Structure 1
Amino acid sequence: MTNNVPPELPSSGIAHSHFDVMSLPPSRQLLAWRERVSHVIDVLPSRSDVKMPFRASIDRYGVGDDLSFTDCRSETMILERSLARISTDNKRDFMFHVFLEGDVDNVTARPSARTGAATRATFLALDLGQPVRMRRNTCHVLSFFVPGTLTAKIFPDPEAVHGRMMRNETPFTQLVVEHAATLSREIPFMDPSAARSAILAGAELLVTAFGKDAGLTGNARSAVRAAMFGRVRRYIQANLRSDALSPESVVQALQLARPSVYRLFQHEGGLNAYIRHLRLKQAAEELARCQHLSVTEIAFGLGFTSSSDFTRAFRRAFDMAPRDFREASLNKAA
């Protein structure tokens, strides 16, 4: 096994590492893999999973401080990036998966969602600043890690891309797959400039594909939808702490057609679910970082009418009470 291969010489400008669990004893393979990827996401194995052989390998190519590309093969596993983890690390990149083999399903990326989407996807977009839980089936997956500024070129609010999934069903998505596959073959032989350009091109293709899927690119009507999308999101962010914030107040304040606004937020589970998602996400951040504020103060500060309503909503969303979440965040930070 080659583990943590040192970066290439500075003249190359590409940092490469390779990791493979094959030479480890079967009882150590899944645990070693979990440790390897733990700086980004948690692997959630059962006791029986740990005892079974597990095949996985990954090559990572880093270009500068803001771009990286990984080529990974692995068996089925449950992955989670929780709010407790997010509150204690600084990973805020956007990650785009392209599955050359296998796929992902049961993706839960919104606190309002009780169960994950069962749809099997060839493409998955994730904002590492937001929670997600998913089952990644036995696969060969290529991943692009890029800053949110690139995503913002298409999505007025980059966070809106989180959790979006697509199948490879159009000539454009096939182009994305071919670009990613070519990059995986050629990046070991590229110079830094070519590698950077290829990673950026792949990420832009992916963001555009997700934008097309969301109806945010392609024509004048799409431009109007994108502008409306951004306007509504900015209004909600600005009024997140207002008791009066509701889907109806958004429509009235912005003088927009209710059906059009509601359609824009279908992917979020509806406009009301999106508002609640943002409030709960903000509450989780404050529970982790603002130890001087009580749970009640945080609840009322984010428009909840009582601490009991807030606790019920938080428990439904994250399967734990606010106080338990605060304790878990402190333990993880320690």
Structure 2
Amino acid sequence: MPADSDPPKISTHFSTRACPRERQLLAWRDRVGHVVDVVPDKDQIARGFSGSIDLHAAGGLVFTEARTDALVLERSIARVSTDTRRDFAFHVYVEGETGHVSGLSVKRSAPGSVRGIIALDLNQRFRVERPACRVLTMFVPRVIVAAHIGDCDALHGRVLPDHAPLVHFVFEHFEATARELPVLDRPDAADALDAGARLLLAAFADKPNAASDSRAALQTAVKSQVKRYIETRLHEADLTPTAIVEALGLKRATVYRWFEQEGGLAAYIRLRRLREAADELALFPNLRIADIAFGLGFKSASDFTRAFRRAFDVSPLEMRLRALELLRATSGDPVMRMRAAHSRGLPESG
């Protein structure tokens, strides 16, 4: 988890939509020009260019989601020799394909334009003729890549098609990361990006301990997948460990083992429901406690009350009264209400 001295999470958004048509491609070139050159042509400038990019940075990693029309990107030898970018860019093509990549040495058996992932070393030259696409990109510092990839220079230009091992999990994790990053705080954003980087590097790894790295990265990705599934279904009565592993197509014994530190998967679901109940007790003071309990899958109000007291050392009614007291004391200031709840030991969601 980042220390307090670490920089905060950074989020930015840019779109060419607000630019005059003849300025759109040039505006895009200006926006991404600190990393790569956009090669324009007169016809494309005249037609206009649709492009948007969301950038998030946390924990020393940068993640972008871009949607663009077809374009040509280039890092020339002259560019490489004059700027200081030395990290790796991993492009995950969730819509569209990698396009035609030139200016680098690749194996004759390497796949051409495919839906998949391509690794590009910003310390080496390349040219990409890319079709319209939606691409999720993670920029990983060179020192991190070198620690996981034996010969990281040889990683440049490698393509993993979407059917390669671990790539399915990379796609799923990156799609979820793109959805969730805008609302995550700095520590959670850094954790999500770190998990994505480790999963990427495990997919590309060729070191002797690659199998171990892959297992660790896969465990992180699958646990995140399970937790996201639970978060969106806390109010469904049939949310059970069996239902989860069947819905996600996972191995029951493996998933159960990975949740042992949380007391087991059933215990994790129960705790998340109790924390959600604690939030609802404060947010909906007119909602009957029994209705909150039944709405979160508890079979009876008494079962809910016993579980709640074991988790938080207070009854649901006592929690609600304490929350109402705090709300009255800090009315009119939502930030102060949140801080007061935290300082008085009310459970946080998440």
Band of TM-score, shorter chain: 0.5 to 0.7
- 1:86 is aligned, of 80, 88, 97, to 80
**Secondary structure class of the residue paired with 1:79:** strand
**Secondary structure class of the residue paired with 2:101:** strand
* Aligned counterparts, 1:314-329, within 5 A: none
Counterparts in 2 of 1:41 and 1:208: CA distance versus 1, 3 Å: same
Give the structure 2 partner of residue 266 of structure 1. Answer: none
Q: Tell me if 1:48 matches 2:43.
A: yes
Give, in whole Å, the separation in 1 of the partners of 2:47 and 2:120.
Answer: 29
Give, in whole Å, the separation in 2 of the partners of 1:195 and 1:112.
Answer: 34
Q: Shift of residue 215 of structure 1?
A: 9.3
Q: Tell me if 1:24 matches 2:36.
A: no
Give, in whole Å, the separation in 1 of the partners of 2:157 and 2:15.
Answer: 28
Counterparts in 2 of 1:11 and 1:80: CA distance versus 1, 3 Å: closer
Give, in whole Å, the separation in 2 of the partners of 1:105 and 1:12.
Answer: 35
Cα pair 1:109 1:163 within 8 Å, conserved: no
For 2:187, the aligned partner's letter is: S
TM-score in terms of structure 2 length: 0.55
Give, in whole Å, the separation in 1 of the partners of 2:42 and 2:107.
Answer: 27
Give, in whole Å, the separation in 2 of the partners of 1:113 and 1:161.
Answer: 11
Deviations 1:245-292 (A, max 9, x none): xxxxxxxxxxxxxxxxxxxxxxxxxxxxxxxxxxxxxxxxxxxxxxxx
Cα pair 2:98 2:114 within 8 Å, conserved: yes
Give the structure 1 partner of residue 220 of structure 2. Answer: none
- 2:29 is aligned, of 28, 34, 39, to 34
Q: Shift of residue 126 of structure 1?
A: 1.0
**Secondary structure class of the residue paired with 1:153:** helix
Q: Tell me if 1:167 matches 2:161.
A: yes
Q: Tell me if 1:187 matches 2:181.
A: yes
Deviations 1:185-218 (A, max 9, x none): 0011111111112112111111111226x99833
Q: Shift of residue 60 of structure 1?
A: 0.7
Give the structure 2 partner of residue 158 of structure 1. Answer: 152
Give the structure 1 partner of residue 217 of structure 2. Answer: none
Structure 1, unaligned runs of 5 or more: 1-9, 220-334
Give, in whole Å, the separation in 1 of the partners of 2:61 and 2:167.
Answer: 22
For 2:65, the aligned partner's letter is: D
Cα pair 1:107 1:117 within 8 Å, conserved: no
Structure 2, unaligned runs of 5 or more: 213-350
**Higher RCO structure, 1 or 2 (CA under 8 Å, sep 6+):** 1
Q: Tell me if 1:71 matches 2:65.
A: yes
Give the structure 2 partner of residue 225 of structure 1. Answer: none
Cα pair 1:13 1:63 within 8 Å, conserved: yes
Give, in whole Å, the separation in 2 of the partners of 1:104 and 1:176.
Answer: 16
Q: Tell me if 1:177 matches 2:171.
A: yes
**Secondary structure class of the residue paired with 1:218:** helix
- 2:210 is aligned, of 217, 231, 247, to 217
Deviations 1:214-249 (A, max 9, x none): 998338xxxxxxxxxxxxxxxxxxxxxxxxxxxxxx
Q: Shift of residue 12 of structure 1?
A: 8.5
Q: Give the aligned CA root-mean-square deviation in angstroms.
A: 2.6
Q: Shift of residue 121 of structure 1?
A: 4.1
Cα pair 1:125 1:163 within 8 Å, conserved: yes
For 1:22, the aligned partner's letter is: R
| Aligned pairs, number | 207
Give, in whole Å, the separation in 1 of the partners of 2:139 and 2:7.
Answer: 20
Q: Shift of residue 149 of structure 1?
A: 2.2
Give the structure 1 partner of residue 140 of structure 2. Answer: 146
Cα pair 1:154 1:207 within 8 Å, conserved: yes
Q: Shift of residue 118 of structure 1?
A: 3.4
Q: Tell me if 1:125 matches 2:110.
A: no
Q: Tell me if 1:204 matches 2:198.
A: yes
Cα pair 1:154 1:216 within 8 Å, conserved: no
Give the structure 2 partner of residue 248 of structure 1. Answer: none
Cα pair 1:150 1:204 within 8 Å, conserved: no
Give, in whole Å, the separation in 2 of the partners of 1:164 and 1:206.
Answer: 12
Give, in whole Å, the separation in 1 of the partners of 2:49 and 2:191.
Answer: 34
Cα pair 1:105 1:135 within 8 Å, conserved: yes
Deviations 1:301-330 (A, max 9, x none): xxxxxxxxxxxxxxxxxxxxxxxxxxxxxx
Give, in whole Å, the separation in 2 of the partners of 1:190 and 1:149.
Answer: 26
